[in-house]
A and B are shown apart, each in its own frame.
Chain A
Amino acid sequence: MSTQIEQETERETEQTDEQSPEQRRREAKREREAERAEEIERALSEAEKTVELKIFRYDPEVEDKSEPRFDSFTIPFHKGMTILDAIIYARDKYDSSLTFRHSCRQAVCGSDALFINGKQRLGCKTQVGELEWPVRIEPLPHQDVVKDLVVDMQHFYDQMHAVEPYFEPDELPDGELEEQRQDPENREKVKLSTRCIWCGACMSSCNIAAGDNEYLGPAAINKAYRFAMDEREGQDRKQERLRIIEQEHGVWRCQTQFSCTEVCPKDIPLTEHIQELKREAVKNNLKFW
């Protein structure tokens, strides 16, 4: 088999001046596709194992993709392979129209939250070897699908923005080059909440958010927690923050099912943060009676 491949790759096509650019491109494409098919075949036969991916496909604009379906891709598996590695392989070697968001490859940009074997996970930090095969990969549930694995994140962003997600201290120090003081313990208290990468996994996993479109959701409430608990902002601002999360579609909707906490790729104790804000809100209301 290997000799046959060598022979084929050695074969070269003469390019003549008479070729039109279009012919040239077609010719180049044919050659490349043949090379790639051989490369895939070689990789598959050399790999100790191959893994099958079943990937959700949908494109409202393209005729044979306008009805959602699953495509199967067989990928040569290697130790350490992540889901992101696997779908990049599927895209670059089999089907360049396979669409998903990804950028940093290291779990900090939050682009590639996907529904993998029935659970929200980041593609880049999910090991293929630790999953049941074949692996089923779908876009995040409870969000509109734009195409293939890409969902519309607008609603998620709207909810994030609804909690006034920006630092606004009651006052700032006067001195030149003077920072606000923050107790290391207080920094520790907000530390986990500041790790959020806006991937949307929590929101997608939340039953309450699925049933109540106006529910702020775990990520946005965690963002509110991040500021409400930061001693640098001051008490006045904290009052306003508690008012925001106490609204009808705020913290009281949470039924402590812990699904958000379970799927958070940054291990943020989301449910605990929501519970703590509930307690803060109660304490705060008692204070005014």
Chain B
Amino acid sequence: MNEHDVIVIGAGGAGLRAAIEAHEEGADVALVSKLHPVRSHTGAAEGGINAALHEEDSWELHAYDTMKGSDYLGDAPAIDAFAKEAPDEVIQLEHWGMPFSREEDGTVSQRPFGGLSHPRTTYAGAETGHHLLHTMYEQVVKRGIEVYEEWYVTRLAVTDHDNPDNRECYGCVGYDIKTGEVAGFYGSDGVILATGGLGQAFDHTTNAVANTGDGPAMAYRAGAPMEDMEFVQFHPTSLPSTGVLISEGVRGEGGILYNDEEERFMFEYGYANNEGELASRDVVSRAELTQINEGKGIEDEYVHLDMRHLGEERIVDRLENILHLAEDFEGVDGLSEPMPVKPGQHYQMGGVEVDEYGHTCINGLYTVGESACYSLHGSNRLGGNALPELLVFGARAGRHAAGGDVEQSQIPTGPSAKSENGDVDPPVDPGAVKNGGDPVAADGGAVAAPKQILDRAIETEEERIETLLERDGINHADVRETVQQTMTENVNVFREESNLKQALRDIREARAQYQNVGVSDPSRTYNTDLIHTIETRNVIDCAEAIALSALAREEFRGAHWRKQHQERKDDEWLKHTLLAWSDGNPELYYKPVILEGHDQTYEPKDRSY
């Protein structure tokens, strides 16, 4: 058993920032990650980091833009903390050596981004995430923080008190990918989940193959609810053949979107008469798909993003990476022709329900970064807000877990925060497969001493892995494919009741199929067949939560568009969707949005760009 004060699961931007902060607070901290840290998908973020650095800008404006972008589903305490602390975090990063793009006077450059009232996006070329990830990993190396790389965490060690509010997390169980060893990680002061996105629930995504929603799924099954899972961001500019992301920075620098008649449709069709291409991402994605559905797409599949008029010098200076991506993954020369783009799953606004310190309702269990929902992004995240999020909340959770100075949190979590029961009528039961008699799907643990809880979790995982390796069964890849296809077909940018119900039926079928999976590779050495098989269960849980929450919310807000409910309904729906696992019988309920911050109260307004 490996013992530390704080265990951080996942070593992308959020995990690294949390580990550094916990270390600074004097904790003995360890990072456990299924990838070596520099392989994390934070490295693929391109555009930038929003922070109000200029004198004529202010954190209040950044907070206001973020709340408006969220379509008034963000919680003010999280948004205020975020906007206030982002500038310090950016300067901290600069002091750690981040190679930001610079102005002639040597200061950090800032560029315009969608939905922002001020050019406040700092960046490092079009590879900001790569530099952020490496800069922070370097600081982890400098501090000698222990990293268990290529260890896949498969279970949290949590007590099984009836009420999740009373549960405690004491650590987690990891599987050493290289050797097949199962070991416990005991975290006496806390466990911080920072596992990133869940894009593998879809088949056209900008996410990495490793983004399988492990954190949300593990926390969910351990009793922490998932929040606002229906809100999935589809990025308007992903390459059609692979889903590789083309940064919003292209539009920030002046890139233009055209349909097959070379109309600048964002203006011509009035989708965003003021902001045009730089409207919020949900607005642009819907505009593109509307054009494509109306027969104005190119090859009925995509639209064109043109940056040729920016000139070679500016493109090479600020967007060079985009030229490589378009060339390598689509065979297009961005200097001489427009680039094909279409919406692709990009970011999960929802996640594990946490307060503004990343703390879940389970004592000692935190979640940060994309796997968490504070709620900062509400129903739609603004471009350039994900990287400062993982810095600000990574640091806040690290500090909280390590026992540093923190204030009383204002955002309530867990069952006690419930204000209203849900009313949703799924076509099939969600949750655990009953009468499956299958230990692979079982979860839980009895109330006992902390280390006994962990020991029991280790035993359960050893048994589960043994079972998966030994038994004969179907290849998980078939199950995953079923989920990905139905999600992309039925839970996409435009959502209809019948499609959402079809997705739930398909996911149910996938759950049933999952009872029959087996791992053909018998080896304990680097068995990726086993790892992917375990991941697929997480993919199923996340996909189901998204589809079920989407079916429940009968309004149009931010990224969530419903065919029969094409307006935002503040009277009824100014509330967060919560989904609790409830030992396999998922329960859907609501809690109110908090629009009242410490310094300012936000009034829901029409959201136009």
Contact = CB atoms under 8 A, between A and B. Distances in A.
A168 B241 CA distance: 42
A162 B319 CA distance: 32
Contacts of B523: 59, 61-62, 97, 147
Interface string B73-101: 00000000000000110010011110111
Interface string A182-207: 11100100110011011000000000
Contacts of A21: 436-438, 515
Q: Is the interface of A mostly helix, strand, loop or mixed?
A: loop
Interface string A6-29: 000000000000000110111011
A47 interface: no
B210 A166 contact: no
Interface in B128-164: 130-131, 134-135, 138-139, 141-142
Contact of B40 (A29, A109, A168): A109
B270 interface: no
A181 B105 CA distance: 8
Interface string B304-348: 000000000000000000001100111100000000000000000
Interface stretch (A171-179, A250-258, A274-282): A171-179
Contact of A180 (B95, B131, B324): B95
B506 to A, nearest CB: 16
Contacts of A233: 97
A133 interface: no
B107 interface: yes
A168 B41 CA distance: 26
A25 B518 contact: yes
Which of B97, B329, B330 neighbours the largest number of chain A CB atoms within 10 Å of its CB?
B97
Interface residues of B, number: 77
A244 B45 CA distance: 32
Contact of B526 (A25, A150, A169): A150
A221 to B, nearest CB: 16
Interface in A19-66: 21-22, 24-26, 28-29, 32, 36, 59-62
A108 B528 contact: no
Interface in B22-77: 35-36, 38-41, 43-44, 53
Contacts of A208: none
B473 interface: yes
B106 A183 contact: yes
Interface stretch (A67-75, A99-107, A209-217): A99-107
A191 B320 CA distance: 11
B43 A104 contact: yes
Interface in B227-249: 241-245
A92 B208 contact: no
Nearest to B93: A179
Nearest to B88: A177
B447 interface: no
Which of B88, B103, B473 neighbours the largest number of chain A CB atoms within 10 Å of its CB?
B473
B478 interface: yes
A227 interface: yes
Interface of B: 35-36, 38-41, 43-44, 53, 87-88, 91, 94-97, 99-108, 124-125, 127, 130-131, 134-135, 138-139, 141-142, 178, 208-210, 241-245, 324-325, 328-331, 436-438, 471-475, 477-478, 513, 515-516, 518-529
Interface of A: 21-22, 24-26, 28-29, 32, 36, 59-62, 80, 92, 95-97, 99-111, 125, 146-148, 150, 153, 157, 161, 164-169, 172, 177-184, 187, 190-191, 194-195, 197-198, 227, 230, 232-233
Given A80-B331, A109-B38, 13 more contacts: A21-B436, A61-B523, A96-B475, A106-B325, A161-B141, A166-B141, A169-B97, A177-B87, A180-B95, A187-B102, A194-B99, A194-B134, A197-B130
16 contacts: A62-B523, A80-B331, A96-B520, A96-B529, A97-B521, A99-B529, A104-B209, A105-B209, A106-B244, A111-B35, A147-B523, A148-B526, A166-B139, A180-B94, A194-B99, A232-B97
